[in-house]
Amino acid sequence: MMKSSFAIATGVGLLFLAACNGPKESADAAAAPAPVPAAAAKPGTTAADADALVAEVDKYAVDNAARLGAAFWIAQTYITDDAQLLAANATEEQLEFQSAKAEEAKRFNDTPGLSPETARALTLIKLGPTMPAPSDPAKRKELAAIAAKMDANYGAGQWCRPNAAGQEECLKLQQIEKIVDNVELKNTPAQIEAAWNGWHQTSRPIRKDYQRFTELMNEGASQLGFKDTGELWRGGYDMSPAEFDAEVERLWGQVKPMYDDLHCLVRDKLNKKYGDAVVPKDGLIPAHLLGNMWAQQWSNLYPLLEPYPGQDSLDVSSALKAQRDAEYKTLLAAFKGKPTPSDIAELEHKADAAQAVKMAKVAEDFYVSLGFPKLPESFWAKSLLVQPRDRDVVCHASAWDMNLKGDVRIKQCIEPDEEELTTIHHELGHIYYYLSYNHLRPVFQSGAHDGFHEAIGDTITLSLTPEHLKKIGLVKSVQKNDKATINSQMKLALDKIVFLPWGKLVDQWRWKVFSGQIKPEDYNAGWWKLREQYQGVSPPNARSEDDFDPGAKYHIPGNTPYTRYFLSFVLQFQFQKALCDASGFKGPLSECDVYGNAEAGKRFIEMLALGSSQPWPDTLEKLTGTRKMDASAIIEYFTPLIAYMKEQNQGKSCGWKVPEDAPAAAAAAPAT
């Protein structure tokens, strides 16, 4: 599944306008009626004036995409004070332009005679920015500077500790994650806790920055007509914020019972491994023991959870590591003379880079098999695929559309493991979405909604079945029986199902912060209340308001809305079912592999080509035949595992106590 530093789409295509996360009006309003004869209009508010405004916004995007995109790219790939300044200036410029054009677009609310295309474009423009900026230039400049500072703090974060020789060594996030991930299940709880603490302390310096950041964005949102930034974000789904709240709760209600069963099973296994003093038989699971820095996905616990050991070897990571080691041996054998430590480090880096390209080519091949084009040569020349040896970078995986017309690239510090391979497939989903809608005018170059953008690549990963992995040489053998099926589904559920409550709660916290329901003096306490409520996890030790644990997750300092991921984890199964039906597949959904199927590819490409040019229910209907997001495909996919978990949990005390002020709907399932 996605590498724990969860991947995002970025780049100028998503930064200029409303983009895929910009609020939109209701579906009925956004569709817009057919043009009607224009009534008398005030000067500057005619349909022609509206057309001119949209054209101006499009022109700004085209003229400035490459220049501003370069500033953001450099800021994440060369973390220096100078790069921060460039990024802050670019952000300030964008915020000024967005705010001005959003305000201008409001003039046309009652303008008759608008074409449907212009009406849609105005909706995207006037309700768009995810970082709403105040109209005051000084405050706008301050907001941009804080955003750049928080981003750089995350990228430069490190944990320093004494090494075995008693000397101080400083570890970056990727190195700290290796301890917390505990893939071999050999690290002690104390070792994991120390590493967990080490990373989480890196966000302490931005606590006050985030408070001011929130104040400034709320002022900007208010000037756009919203109560706060959270209401603005929730308005971006062709429905009212209240309707969107209800929609998210409905989807969560569909999948929550499965998460509760999985939580119960995992807690029991961890209790047996570590004992009652570390993991209680009932109640909350200590978050640091779940094989992930944020406890957002638990796939590293699969060896402990494997239902039927020996049924299938699903160790893709070992195969990828073996490929990388073979590359290193080839490079070493070709080296002339005796290599110095510096030479060896360089050869190791070259081996890492070669393996990263190989893994990216595997992902590209899947898309090409469906009818997508090969990636442009500039992708391979300009992408950052491995951690550089000479500088800090923001390793958080992201996909970039640099100029709205083909300069696409990813930034990812790829390592040879299964999570990274899956992340590459995810990132290329963003890339191919960009390329598919690059023919549209810039204002429509974004996803149908932001959850669509995140779901594309993940849909592809659902075809990475054991049989497919065998075909591409990453697993040796595949057994087809009920036990092997449950093994495979358990491994996937530890990513896909486990993620769902996390995907929901991150923005639940932010929305409460934006609205003032969670006050600055309760930032950390409010964060852990929600994690207890939704995930059933607890911090490894006592936390205080000196801590700022939300800021240890990239999307908080990076100001990336997160409910998009929750929605994407629903949509990807819905998309996969539609693609499998289109391909003619007749077996269990969990066994469907659409690799090479022209009809499935045609349907997918046609949907992506629409961008945000129409309300998302219209786009969803084009692929799936339905206008509603629906999690029933998840239940269908995991039906064998659901039955297995119900059987395993018989007689166990399942569920956990939730905070007193938590809504009843969010309470855990009763004991089975």
Long-range CB contacts for residues 476-485, cutoff 8 Å, separation at least 24: 476/313, 477/312, 477/313, 478/312, 479/311, 479/312, 481/311, 482/640, 483/307, 483/308, 483/311, 484/308, 484/311, 484/312, 485/588, 485/590, 485/640
Q: What is the pLDDT of residue 43?
A: 62
Determine what percent of the chain is predicted with pLDDT higher than 70.
Answer: 91
Q: What is the pLDDT of residue 99?
A: 85
Closest to 304 measured CA to CA, from 283, 336, 274, 280: 274
Instruction: Return phi, psi of residue 441, to 5°.
Output: -65, 150
DSSP 8-state code for residue 556: T
3-class SS of residue 286: strand
The string of pLDDT tens digits covering residues 112-156 is: 999 999 999 998 997 777 899 999 999 999 999 999 999 999 999
For 100, the domain range is: 9-249
Answer for the pair 623, 604: CB distance below 8 angstroms, yes or no: yes
Q: What is the pLDDT of residue 615?
A: 94
Residue 42 — very low, low, confident or very high, per pLDDT cuts 50/70/90? Answer: low
Residue 564 — very low, low, confident or very high, per pLDDT cuts 50/70/90? Answer: very high
Does some domain include residue 215? yes
Q: What is the pLDDT of residue 460?
A: 97
For the chain, the average pLDDT equals 90
The string of pLDDT tens digits covering residues 582-597 is: 999 999 999 999 999 9
Q: Tokens 């998503």 correspond to what residue?
A: 14
Does some domain include residue 198? yes
d(CA 155, CA 151): 6
pLDDT surpassing 60 at residue 41? no
- Mean pLDDT over residues 541-554, rounded? 97
DSSP 117-184: HHHHHHHHHHT--SS---SSHHHHHHHHHHHHHHHHHHHH-EEEEE-TTS-EEEEEHHHHHHHHH-TT
Does some domain include residue 304? no
DSSP 8-state code for residue 35: P
Q: Which helix (H) or strand (E) holds 410?
A: strand 408-411
In DSSP terms, 8 is beta-bridged to 398
H helices within 224-295, ranges in order?
Answer: 229-234, 241-274
- Mean pLDDT over residues 44-65, rounded? 95
Sorted by sequence, the CB contacts under 8 Å of residue 100 that are 6+ apart come out as none
Residue 16 — very low, low, confident or very high, per pLDDT cuts 50/70/90? Answer: very low
Residue 237, annotated ligand binder? Answer: yes
DSSP 8-state code for residue 226: -
**Cα dihedral across residues 534, 536, 538, 540: positive or negative:** negative
β-pairing, 285-286 vs 537-538, is parallel
Exposed e or buried b per residue across 38-53, where buried means at least 16 C-beta atoms within 10 angstroms of its C-beta: eeebeeeebbebbbeb
Residue 425, annotated ligand binder? Answer: no
Does some domain include residue 193? yes
Residue 308, annotated ligand binder? Answer: no
3-class SS of residue 235: coil
d(CA 122, CA 132): 17
Reading the block at residue 136, the tokens are 């005051």
Count the domains in the chain: 1
Does some domain include residue 35? yes
- Write down how long the chain is: 672
Residue 247, judged by CB atoms within 10 A of its CB (0-12, 13-18, 19+), counts as: middle
Residue 564, annotated ligand binder? Answer: yes
Does some domain include residue 184? yes
d(CA 405, CA 65): 10
Does some domain include residue 666? no
In the β-sheet with 8-11, what is the strand arrangement from edge to edge? 8-11, 398-401, 408-411
d(CA 412, CA 388): 11
C-alpha torsion 58→59→60→66, nearest 10: 100
Q: What is the pLDDT of residue 28?
A: 28
DSSP 8-state code for residue 421: H
Q: What is the pLDDT of residue 660?
A: 61
Q: What is the pLDDT of residue 46?
A: 94
Residue 250, annotated ligand binder? Answer: no
Q: What is the pLDDT of residue 314?
A: 76
Q: What is the pLDDT of residue 485?
A: 92
Q: Tokens 């360089």 correspond to what residue?
A: 346
Sorted by sequence, the CB contacts under 8 Å of residue 143 that are 6+ apart come out as 91, 92, 95, 131, 133, 134, 213, 216, 217, 220
Does some domain include residue 157? yes
Q: Which has the minimum average pLDDT: 37-51, 512-526, 593-607, 619-633?
A: 37-51
Q: What amino acid positions are annotated as catalytic residues?
A: 427, 555
